[in-house]
Amino acid sequence: MPRFWLMQRLKYLIDVRTSSIDKEGEKRRVDLLQLMLDVATRDEIM
């Protein structure tokens, strides 16, 4: 189903972006997704 593919793809992108934040010396991408990830909490929202 397309929605499951989309959700998996979004999770992958978020995981890649959040793991790249932890790496030092790497040039950070600054776009809307990165700004939203920067302000988001790491705790799961219920």
Tens digits of residue pLDDT in 20-39: 665 655 666 677 877 787 77
Instruction: Kindly state the percentage of the chain with pLDDT values over 90.
Output: 0
Q: Is residue 30 part of a domain?
A: yes
Residue 25 to residue 46: CA distance in whole angstroms: 34
* Threshold 0.75, pTM exceeds: no
| pLDDT at residue 41 in the model | 63
The domain of 20 spans 2-39
> 5: pLDDT confidence band, cut at 50, 70 and 90?
confident
Residue 46 to residue 12: CA distance in whole angstroms: 21
Q: Is residue 28 part of a domain?
A: yes
Residue 26 to residue 45: CA distance in whole angstroms: 29
4 pLDDT higher than 80: yes
Q: Is residue 21 part of a domain?
A: yes
Q: Please give the tally of structural domains in the chain.
A: 1
Q: Is residue 45 part of a domain?
A: no
For the four alpha carbons of 36, 39, 44 and 46, in that order, the dihedral sign comes to negative
